[in-house]
Amino acid sequence: MRRFALQSLLFIASLGMIASAAFAKVTETDFGKTKDGVPAKVFEVTNKNGMKVRLLSRGATLIGVDVPDRDGKLADVVFGFDDMAGYESKANGYFGCTTGRYANRIAKAKFTLDGKEYKLFANDGPNHLHGGDGESLDKVVWDGTPFEKDGVSGVEFAYTSPDGQEGYPGKQEMKVTFTLNDKNELTIDYSAKSDKPTVINLTNHAYFNLGGAGSPTINDHLLTLNADRYTPVDETLITTGKLAPVDGTPLDFRTPTAIGKRVDQLTKTSTLGYDHNFVINRGDAKQGELVEAARLVDPQSGRTLTVMTDQPGIQFYGGNFLKGDKGKGGKSYPYRSACALETQVFPDSPNKQGVEGWTDCVLRPGEEYTHTCVYAFGVEK
Ligand code: BGC
């Protein structure tokens, strides 16, 4: 009798497991190996509205976001590739990756911390960009663990960057967690600890076209940036250390404005178009509190993207270096056909510690770096 009861219980339990597997919101598939032979995985997270987010363990990368338009039609609104070779090719302009250990530029590829100079890889003229060369965070394979809890689901990626990797001091333990809820909000939570003083600036580098990745332009997208000021740059795109007003410039997006309306006024400047860090108006918001930094609207499809963050800055990059290379499904990604909205500390902060109004990027042993960015998708009628 007891044996029968135990068997029945096991049977019922296994049925439960099959049922939960059938309705699981996160699936996992292989995505080939990197050129160094490391296997990578793709996780697909689905919410109850049918919104899907795909995440690749190489670079803890956001490789797909299927969201509905005003008629409920889904389209994938971020750039990416169908295979590992695409991600490892020159056509990959950091599409959707976790960027670091220091996203954006560090002047002359070096900085001094506590009196010691650290040399980094110069991969952008004389400067260091997006964490360096072969072992920047976008190129290494992270450990992904899917989760489903309290009505949300997602993937937690973990990676430990060894002391000295790409020239950065300290062994750095990092986590990047992507969480999708049923309000079509994708939250990215970053955290890191280091065993030596170091510098850090993690971000996500997704390229968005709300008409669907592969649509010809974002010139018609309306952008709002909650920023009265930006950080001007020199000829090599290094911040000058000044905070300048956007008022009266093509960088004034305080009210919704078509990206293409004034972009040509910037084509002959060093940024070749939009490629600027904006100083987010945080008002009275406390440290760690989210504020709305940006809102992007595609009037054609009605899709909207609202970016919220606890960070002080947001880089708006308008795809000036895109050249029509082919991505997912053979679609081409032309000049200025997507934009990145990268929440972060200000560029070149390692060389601007102590400059008035500038941001802190130093992480010391015993401290924890945290950063939250929410990409909230919606529709406008
Ligand atoms: C930078 C651009 C750079 C691009 C590379 C952006 O974050 O602001 O200057 O060319 O990344 O994909």
Any atom of ligand 1 within 6 Å of the Cβ of 342:
yes
Place of tokens 């960015």: 373
Give yes or no for a contact between 204 and 71, defined as CB atoms under 8 angstroms apart.
no
Average model confidence (pLDDT) across the chain: 94
Give yes or no for a contact between 160 and 345, defined as CB atoms under 8 angstroms apart.
no
% residues pLDDT > 90 (the chain): 93
- Confidence at residue 3, expressed as pLDDT on a 0 to 100 scale: 46
Q: CA–CA separation, 202 vs 368, rounded Å?
A: 13
Q: Rounded to 10 degrees, what is the CA torsion of 280, 283, 284, 286?
A: 0
Instruction: State the distance from the centre of ligand 1 to the C-alpha of 313, rounded, in angstroms.
Output: 15
Q: CA–CA separation, 80 vs 329, rounded Å?
A: 9
- Confidence at residue 244, expressed as pLDDT on a 0 to 100 scale: 98
Rounded to an integer, the average pLDDT of 218-241 is 98
Strand, coil or helix: what is 133?
Answer: coil
Q: How confident is the model at residue 24 (pLDDT cuts 50, 70, 90)?
A: low
Asked if the model's pLDDT at residue 228 lies above 70, the reply is: yes
Q: CA–CA separation, 206 vs 61, rounded Å?
A: 8
Q: CA–CA separation, 50 vs 73, rounded Å?
A: 10
Any atom of ligand 1 within 6 Å of the Cβ of 11:
no
Q: Check whether 70 is labelled as a binding-site residue.
A: no
Q: Over the stretch 303-353, which tens digit does the pLDDT of each residue have? A: 999 999 999 999 999 999 999 999 999 999 999 999 999 999 999 999 999
Asked if the model's pLDDT at residue 14 lies above 60, the reply is: no
Atom of ligand 1 nearest to the CA of 347: 8
- Confidence at residue 4, expressed as pLDDT on a 0 to 100 scale: 43
Mutational pocket test of ligand 1: of 94, 136, 336, the residue with most ligand atoms within 8 Å of the beta carbon: 94
Name residues whose C-beta falls within 8 Å of residue 255's C-beta, 6 or more positions apart in sequence: 224
Q: CA–CA separation, 177 vs 202, rounded Å?
A: 12
HSE (side-chain half, CA atoms, 13 Å) at 221: 29
Name residues whose C-beta falls within 8 Å of residue 201's C-beta, 6 or more positions apart in sequence: 100, 101, 102, 103, 104, 344, 345, 349, 361
Asked if the model's pLDDT at residue 271 lies above 80, the reply is: yes
Q: Residue 221's Cα: distance from chain center in Å?
A: 19
CA 124, 126, 127, 128 torsion-angle sign: positive
- Confidence at residue 15, expressed as pLDDT on a 0 to 100 scale: 44
Q: CA–CA separation, 137 vs 43, rounded Å?
A: 18
Instruction: State the distance from the centre of ligand 1 to the C-alpha of 4, rounded, in angstroms.
Output: 64
Q: Check whether 371 is labelled as a binding-site residue.
A: no
Name residues whose C-beta falls within 8 Å of residue 125's C-beta, 6 or more positions apart in sequence: 236
The residue whose CA has the least distance to atom 12 of ligand 1 is: 93
Rounded to an integer, the average pLDDT of 238-252 is 98
Q: CA–CA separation, 379 vs 317, rounded Å?
A: 23
Q: Over the stretch 66-122, which tens digit does the pLDDT of each residue have? A: 999 999 999 999 999 999 999 999 999 999 999 999 999 999 999 999 999 999 999
- Confidence at residue 168, expressed as pLDDT on a 0 to 100 scale: 98
Q: Over the stretch 139-157, which tens digit does the pLDDT of each residue have? A: 999 999 999 999 999 999 9
- Confidence at residue 13, expressed as pLDDT on a 0 to 100 scale: 44
* pTM of the shown model: 0.93
Atom of ligand 1 nearest to the CA of 320: 10
Q: Enter the CATH code of domain 26-379.
A: 2.70.98.10
Q: Over the stretch 161-210, which tens digit does the pLDDT of each residue have? A: 999 999 999 999 999 999 999 999 999 999 999 999 999 999 999 999 99
The residue whose CA has the least distance to atom 9 of ligand 1 is: 275
Q: CA–CA separation, 231 vs 344, rounded Å?
A: 13
**Closest residue by Cα to residue 124 from 94, 97, 104:** 104
Strand, coil or helix: what is 351?
Answer: helix
Rounded to an integer, the average pLDDT of 354-373 is 97
Q: CA–CA separation, 311 vs 278, rounded Å?
A: 11
Any atom of ligand 1 within 6 Å of the Cβ of 315:
yes
- Confidence at residue 81, expressed as pLDDT on a 0 to 100 scale: 98
Give the active site residues: 205, 342
Phi, psi of 200 (to 5 degrees): -150, 145
